[in-house]
Amino acid sequence: MNGQTEDGLDMLWLTNDGMMVCELSGGESYAHNGYSNRAEISRQKSEKYQYDLIIKKTTFSDAGKYFCKLQKEGEYAVDVTTVRLTIQGQDKNCELDEGGDLSISLCSLNSSYIEFHGGTENSTAVCEVDNGTVTHPAKEYLQRLAVWNGNLILSNLTAKDHGKYIVRKERGGRDVLTLTLKIKVIPEGNQTTATKVIPEGTLPTGKRCICK
C-alpha cells in the first residue's frame, strides 16, 4: 500500500474506523495500536517521494480500507489515497507415507474448526480445537488427534485420509488454511509401522509432514 509525500509533511495511515495504524514524522516511522512491531512506512529507493505502508504477519482482522493522509504542522490533514486490503487463506500441499503423522497448522487461532474433503463434494467434520484442546472429534478420528505447538496432529494415516483439510475459525467461516494431502500407499506386506494410540495432550512420535 502506498502514498506520496514531500519533505516537511507528516504521513498518517488510518483504518476505516479512524484508528491510527502508522505515521511518518520527522523522518521516523511509528506504529500504533495492534500494529506495533509489524507495521512501518518505508521509502522506495527508486522514487524520491514514494512511500509504502508495510504490514507484516497479516491476519483476517487486518482486512478492510486504509486511508493515507498528509498533514502540515498546525493544519488539517488532507486525504491522499484509499487502499482496500483483502486477506486470503493459505494453500499448502504435502505428501506423506501411509502410517505417518500429519501436522496441520492452526494458524495461531485460539479456537478453530477443521473439516475434511475427500473424493466427494460432501465434507466431514474432523474436530474443533479450543485453546489447545481437541473437542468434538469425529468417530473415525478418535484417538488419532492431538495438539502440539499450535498444530493439530493426525496420526496413523491411511489411504482414506487423502484429500483436503480446511481450517476455519468457526463452522461456516472463511477458509484460513487449505492443506491438500497426498498419501503414498505402502504395498501390503511391506508395512512396518505399528498402530499407535495418542494419549491426550502428548506429543505423537513417528514421521512428520513438511508442508510446502
Domain assignment present for 212: no
Q: Are residues 156 and 179 in the same domain?
A: yes
Long-range contacts of 71-76 (CB under 8 A, 24+ apart): 71/9, 71/10, 71/12, 72/8, 72/9, 72/10, 73/10
Question: In this predicted model, what pLDDT tens digit does every residue of 51-87 receive, in sequence order?
Answer: 889 999 888 888 899 999 998 888 888 998 999 998 8
Identify whether residues 138 and 69 lie together within a single domain.
Answer: no
58 and 98 assigned to the same domain: no
Check which CATH number belongs to the domain holding 65 and give it: 2.60.40.10
Number of domains, the chain: 2
What number is the average pLDDT over the span 166-190?
Answer: 87
Higher per-residue pLDDT: 44 or 99: 99
Give me the pLDDT at residue 108, please.
81
| Same structural domain, 80 and 101 | no
Rounded mean pLDDT, 202-210: 44
